[in-house]
């Protein structure tokens, strides 16, 4: 089931102290994406647990505590939108960020009605990932419903689930 990677490098992030105590669950069926994203998040100071599909991610989530969930949209067994719904049912304030390589128009229409706080479209730059994660975690802390940053991401308002690009 989900594995936890050890911190491999000291953070160069200005928010390293804040990041170290934060736990992120990453669900993606693509090992290369899991390795790159988790390695980067660990490098900037987060603790990351991994899952290869939505069912495994939900089991890992239910067995532990996480500050944020990053999930791929298209995965076997349970997709990212279904996972987001289950996460929000159990923990409404946990930010869920969707990673996807799918067509933006189709994805945005599907997530407008769902439980996703932000979408990052592949390919993305790591700085956009960092900004989106930090924004989501700050939003969780302050109670503000809008999260997201960078050109490769889109954020949603909790009240209206309206789209706003960056």
Along the 166 residues of the chain, how does pLDDT read in single tens digits? 555 444 333 334 444 444 556 999 999 999 999 999 999 999 999 999 999 999 999 999 999 999 999 999 999 999 999 999 999 999 999 999 999 999 888 888 888 877 899 999 999 999 999 999 999 999 877 655 433 333 355 654 443 333 333 2
| pLDDT tens digits along 9-45 | 333 444 444 455 699 999 999 999 999 999 999 999 9
> What letter does residue 154 receive in the DSSP assignment?
E
Residue 2: per-residue pLDDT: 54
CATH fold, domain 3-165, is Rossmann fold (3.40.50)
Phi, psi angle pair for 17, to nearest 5°: -60, -40
β-partners of residue 47 are 23
Does residue 112 contact residue 156 with C-beta atoms inside 8 Å?
A: yes
Strand 118-121 and strand 96-100: the pairing is parallel
Phi, psi angle pair for 10, to nearest 5°: -75, 150
Residue 109: per-residue pLDDT: 82
CA angle 52, 121, 137 (to 5 degrees): 75
Does residue 48 contact residue 42 with C-beta atoms inside 8 Å?
A: yes
As a whole number of angstroms, the distance between CA 19 and CA 62 comes to 22
Phi, psi angle pair for 27, to nearest 5°: -115, 120
Residue 155: per-residue pLDDT: 56
3-state helix, strand, coil in the chain (%, to 5): 40, 20, 40
- Biggest CA pair distance of the chain: 40
Residue 142: per-residue pLDDT: 66
> What letter does residue 14 receive in the DSSP assignment?
T
Residue 12: per-residue pLDDT: 41
């Amino acid at each position: 089931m989900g594995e936890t990677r050890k911190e491999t490098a000291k953070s160069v992030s200005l928010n390293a102290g804040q990041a170290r105590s934060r736990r992120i669950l990453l669900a993606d069926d693509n090992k290369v994406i899991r390795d790159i994203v988790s390695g980067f998040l660990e490098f900037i100071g987060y603790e990351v647990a991994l899952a290869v599909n939505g069912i495994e991610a939900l089991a890992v989530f239910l067995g532990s505590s996480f500050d944020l969930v990053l999930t791929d949209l298209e995965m076997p067994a349970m997709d990212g939108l279904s996972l987001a719904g289950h996460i929000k049912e159990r923990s409404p304030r946990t930010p869920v960020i969707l990673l996807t390589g799918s067509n933006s128009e189709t994805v945005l229409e599907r997530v407008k009605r769902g439980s996703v706080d932000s979408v990052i479209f592949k390919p993305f730059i790591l700085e956009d990932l960092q900004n989106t994660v930090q924004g989501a975690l700050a939003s969780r802390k302050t109670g503000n419903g809008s999260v997201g940053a960078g050109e490769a991401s889109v954020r949603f308002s909790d009240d209206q689930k309206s789209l706003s690009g960056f």
